[in-house]
Amino acid sequence: MEPLTMLILLPLIGAVLTYVFGKGNEESAKHIALLFSLLTLLASIPLIPMFMSNPESLYPSVNYKWLTIFDKEITFSLGVDGLSLPMILLTTVLFVVAILASWNRITYRLPEYYALMLLMEMGLIGIYESLDLFFFYVFWEFVLIPGFFLIGIWGGKEKTYAAMKFFIYTHVGSLFMLIGFLKLLFATNTTNIIAIEKTLSLSIEEAKLVFLLLFIGFAFKIPFVPFHTWLPHAYTQAPSPVTLILAALVSKMGAYGLIRLAFSFFEDFFQLYSYPLALLGLLSIFYAGFLALAQDDIKKLIAYSSVSHMGFVLLGLLSFNLTGLNGAIFQMVSHGLIVAMLFLACGIMNQHLKTRLISQLSGVARSMPKVGWSMVYASMASIGLPGLSGFVAELLILFGLYNAVKMGIMPLWVLVLAALSIGLTTGYYSFMLQRAIFNSPNDRVKKVKEVLTSSEAVALAVLIILIAFLGLYPFHAVEIISQASEKLLAR
């Protein structure tokens, strides 16, 4: 069977089976879900050699007419290139991690939970594979639904508020995007992304409007400040495996759309508006960075830090050269892994210690060494320590930005501020580590014994290895990504 279609169908079949068999025997739901997430992972790995041997062979891989209304054409078209391949691999890996992390965390309504998780995986893979705006939009909205229930049913104390906010807020964003899509459809009579790229011709005024609509739509999802306030609620209220998915993958939907559609259709406007966009990126980096410093709740701290790091993606795009673009895409992958690990470690801590407040924690490394040190490791990765993946992304983005400065399309202070933000990031992470993970344990922490289940240990180990591998030897990853960047710049 065609590999890309299979990647979408596998989690879907898995979801149905999980639900059906899970109804009879709750425990079996976990096993079926794990099995199918592993199968999906296995199915995604052959894409690497296929892509490496011939990058264009999978773009598109499936392509046929689906529906024609008058002269408007909707196609069913799937494809993978250097931008979507890393995202798909990230998705398939992180769902295995998330299901392992859910193993002992989720205690009620297992069949529904695991089925929804797999549905979400299907939606995400669908987005990254779609080469047609119609299906892109369908999958895009589809992801919201499992997300809504996963937060609303298995979430924390304010889960209803958080789920509603997540749903409505990001849905409003999607509407901007939808209007943009409709405009594109009427301008080109097709929804096929490759066809649009070739035939798109809009007047400047119209193009400007569509660009803004798409940009705002994606800005809600990524999110950029000031469209971000759904995020702290959703991230803190969702159960930590779901938070892991939201932060690592759902926010990447926005960044992915930004590059795949907004950037590739309207690169000119990124250049035209490079100053205000750079300011927006810096605003996200610093505003969220300062907020992270103020948080007492570790999960909220990670949430804001996540917003802050996504600002770097925008800066990388604005450099308009291979180095910066590679950095931006690399940052998406690296940030996905790192933030997943942070939320995972934070979730395990919370489960045993019954609190996430820094002020109530102290000396976690003492009573829970494995989890505590995982937290240290992930924090170091997040502040961009060389040898771990975050550094490669930051370095490439900074290298790329200066090139843009030299070309005169970016002022120098953008680069300097971006570099200075590293100090801020180091500040809030090391401040958190000092108070929560180090120091001598308080009474609450002393009582806890570390019980790291094997599924949690495997999940952490996978992330540790991947983060170190990408950081130590980014050669192949950058090579894959570079194919997409070259294509974007050639246009």
Partner 1 sequence: MSALEYAWLIPTFPAVAFVLITLFGSRWGERSGIVAVLFTALSFILSVFVIIEVLSGKELTYENGITWISKESVGFAEEIFKFGLLIDKLAAVMLFVVAFGSLIIMIYSLGYMHGDETVHRYYAEMSLFISSMLLLVISRNILLLFIAWELVGLCSYLLIGYWYKYSTAASAAKKAIIVTRVADIGFMLGLVLLYNWLHTLDIVEIFERAPKELTEEQITIVSLLLFIGAMGKSSQVPLHVWLPDAMEGPTTVSALIHAVTMVKAGVYMVARMYPLYVLSDTAMLVVAYIGAITAFMAASMGLVRIDIKRIVAYSTMSHLGFIALALGSGSIAAGMYHLINHSMFKALLFLATGSVLHAVHARSIDIRKLGGLWKKMPITAITALVAIVSLSGLPPFGGFWSKDEILAAIKASAMHEPAYIYLYYLTMVTAFLSVAYLFRWYFIVFLGKPKSKEAEHAHESPAIMTVPLIVLAACSFIVPTVKLFGYDEVVSDWVGEYAPYHLPHLTEDEHEKIAVISAIIAVISFLTVFAVYYLKVVSSETIVRTFKPIHTLVNNKYYFDHAYNYFAERIVYVFSLLLDVLERLYDKYIVDGIAKVTLMFGDVIKKLQTGKIQDYVTLIFLGLSVLLIILSI
| Residues near partner 1 (CB under 8 A) | 168-169, 226, 229, 287, 290-291, 293-295, 321-323, 326, 363, 365-366, 380, 383, 385-387, 391-392, 395-396, 398-399, 401-403, 406, 415-416, 419-420, 422-423, 426-427, 430-431, 433-435, 438-441, 473-475, 478-479, 481-482, 486
Shortest Cβ 433–partner 1 spacing (Å): 7
Looking at the Cβ atoms of 343 and 429, the one nearer to partner 1 is: 429
CB of 255 to partner 1, least distance (A): 20
Decide whether 346 or 418 has the Cβ nearer to partner 1: 418
Judged by beta carbon, residue 4 or residue 322, the one nearer partner 1 is 322
Q: Closest CB to partner 1 among 63 and 426?
A: 426
- CB nearer to partner 1: give 109 or 366: 366
From 232, 124, 214, select the one nearest 169 (Cα to Cα). 232
Nearest residue (CB) to partner 1, 243 versus 425 = 425
Least Å from the CB of residue 449 to partner 1: 15
**Residue 244 near residue 94, CB atoms below 8 Å:** yes
Beta carbons of 69 and 126 less than 8 angstroms apart = no
Q: Tell me the closest approach of the beta carbon of residue 284 to partner 1, in angstroms.
A: 13
For residue 68, the cross-strand partners are 73
Distances (CA, A) of 263 to 132, 199, 485: 16, 16, 11
Contact present, 471 and 396 (Cβ < 8 Å): no
Minimum CB distance to partner 1, residue 291 (Å): 6
| Shortest distance (Å) from residue 441 CB to partner 1 | 8
Distance CA 308, CA 288 (A): 5
Q: Which is nearer to partner 1, 103 or 399 (CB)?
A: 399
Closest to partner 1 by CB, 217 vs 363, is: 363
Distance, in Å, from the CA atom of 90 to the CA atom of 101, rounded to the nearest integer, reads 16
**HSE-CB of 468 using CA atoms within 13 angstroms:** 8
| Angstrom distance (rounded) from CA 101 to CA 262 | 34
Burial of residue 212 (CB within 10 Å: 0-12, 13-18, 19+) is: middle
Question: Minimum distance from CB of 302 to partner 1 (Å)?
Answer: 15
C-beta closer to partner 1: residue 177 or 437: 437
Q: Which letter, b or e, does each residue of 122-139 get, where b requires 16 or more Cβ atoms within 10 Å of its Cβ?
A: bbbbbbbbbbbbbbbbeb
Q: How far is the CB of 74 from partner 1 (least distance, A)?
A: 32
Min dist. Cβ of residue 165 to partner 1 (A): 8
For residue 317, the number of C-alpha atoms closer than 13 Å in the C-beta half-sphere is 33
